[in-house]
Amino acid sequence: MNKKWGITIKPSKKLGQCFLIDKNFVKKAVDAANLTKDDVVLEIGLGRGILTEELAKNAKKVYVIEIDEKLRPYAEKITREYDNVDVIWGDALKVNFDELGFNKVVANLPYQISSPITFKLLKTDFDVAVLMYQYEFAKRMVAKEGTKDYGRLSVAVQYKADIEFICKVPPSAFSPRPKVNSAIVKIVKREPLFKVEDEEFFENVLRALFQHKNKTVRRALINSCHELGVEREKIKEILENIDFNVDERVFKLSPKEIGNLSNLLYNHLRYK
Ligand code: SAM
C-alpha cells in the first residue's frame, strides 16, 4: 500500500505503477529538460504526482494524462496547489497529442507502453522529451550500428532525434520496487538526418530487415518480402539490380545506409 498525504491506494502492477520516491531522480529528469516558464509540458502518468509537482513549479503549463481514476485524490491535491496543471483522464495512447500543443515531454513511463508511446511521440511535433524507461529499452534506443543492442527501435528513433543517455536509475528509487533497472533518456527532436521517399515504406523496410538482424541484407529481405508486399522472385531480381552491398549484415548498417536502401527499393518498385 502507498500512503502519502494520508491517501492509501494499492498500486496496480498491470498499469506499471512503480512510483518514484527518490527526489534526486525527479531533479535529474527536470534538469535535463531545461524547463523555463515558457514551456508547456506533457507528462504521461500522474501516479502520486511527485514529478508533476516539480514540473508545475518550473513550467508555464503541465498536461498530465492518467488512466487510473483511483488516483483522483492525488490529482485533486496537485490541482488545488498548482493552477497550471490540467489532468487528462484516459489512455495516453488514445489522446490526440496534436490538440494539446506542448513543446516538452517529461515522464516516468508505464513500461508496458514504452514502445507504442515512443513511436507515437516521434510522429508528434515537440522539442525535447526526457523519459524514464526500462534500462534495457533505453540501451536499445541509444545503440549504434554494429552493437548487440542495435535494432529497429534504434534506427526509428535516431532517424528523427538525437538521443542522450542521462543516467541509470536503480530499483530503490521507486515504490514498489521494480525487478529491473531503469534509465532516463533525453530525446531532442530534429529534422530527419536523411530524406526517405516514403516513411511508411521505410518503416516496413525496418521491420523486414530487423526480423533477421544477424543475416545479410539479401537473406533478410528475401525472407521478409511479405513485409514489403513483394513476391520472393521480384525482390531477388531487385536486389540484383540495386547499387547496394546486399551481402552486408543487417545490424552493421547505419540508419543513413538503411534510409538509402529504403529509397533504392522504393524507387525500383515504383518505377518498374
Ligand atoms: N509519474 C509518476 C511517478 O513518477 O511516480 C507515476 C509513474 S508510474 C511508472 C506510471 C503511471 O502511468 C501510473 O500512474 C499509471 O497508472 C499510469 N498509466 C499506465 N498506463 C497508462 C496509459 N496507457 N495512459 C496514461 N497513464 C497510464
272 pLDDT band, cuts 50/70/90, is: low
Determine the Cα–Cα distance for residues 171 and 126; give it in Å rounded to an integer. 30
Q: Residue length, the chain? A: 272
Average pLDDT, the chain: 95
| DSSP-based three-state secondary structure for 226 | helix
pLDDT surpassing 80 at residue 7: no
Tell me, in angstroms, the distance from the centre of ligand 1 to residue 43's CA.
Answer: 9
Q: In this structure, are strands 61-66 and 174-175 parallel, antiparallel, or unpaired?
A: unpaired
The tens digit of pLDDT for each residue in 43-79 reads 999 999 999 999 999 999 999 999 999 999 999 999 9
Residue 66 marked in a binding site: yes
Q: Is the pLDDT of residue 270 over 90?
A: no
Distance 11 CA to ligand 1 centre (A): 10
Packed helices 135-142 and 114-122: angle between N→C axes, nearest 10 degrees: 30
As given in the structure block, the three cell numbers for residue 217 are: 541484407
pLDDT band at 20 (very low <50, low <70, confident <90, very high): very high
Q: Which residues pair with 169 in a beta bridge?
A: 182
Q: What is the structure's pLDDT at 9?
A: 77
Closest by CA to 160, choosing from 202, 190, 117, is 190
Model confidence over 87-145: pLDDT tens digits? 999 999 999 999 999 999 999 999 999 999 999 999 999 999 999 999 999 999 999 99
Ligand 1 closest atom vs CA 107: 1
Say if CB 235 and CB 222 are below 8 A apart: yes
Domains of the chain from N-terminus onward = 19-189 (3.40.50.150), 199-271 (1.10.8.100)
Instruction: Give, for ligand 1, the residue of 15, 50, 105 to mutate: max count of ligand atoms closer than 8 Å to Cβ.
Output: 15
Render 249-270 in DSSP notation, one character per residue.
BGGG--HHHHHHHHHHHHHHHH
Instruction: Note the pLDDT of residue 137.
Output: 98
pLDDT at 11 > cutoff 70: yes
Distance 15 CA to ligand 1 centre (A): 7
Cα(56)–Cα(132) distance, integer angstroms: 18
Tens digit of each residue's pLDDT (9 = 90 or more) over 205-241: 999 999 999 999 999 999 999 999 999 999 999 999 9
106-145 per-residue burial string, b: 16 or more CB within 10 A, e: under 16: bbbbbbebbeebbebbbeeebebbbbbbbbebbbbbbbeb
Ligand 1 atom 22, closest CA: 91
Q: Are 163 and 185 in contact (CB under 8 A)?
A: yes
Give nearest CA residue, ligand 1 atom 19.
Answer: 15
The pTM score is 0.93
0.95 surpassed by complex ipTM: yes
Ligand 1 environment, Cβ below 6 A: 15-20, 44-48, 50-51, 65-68, 71, 91-93, 108, 110, 113
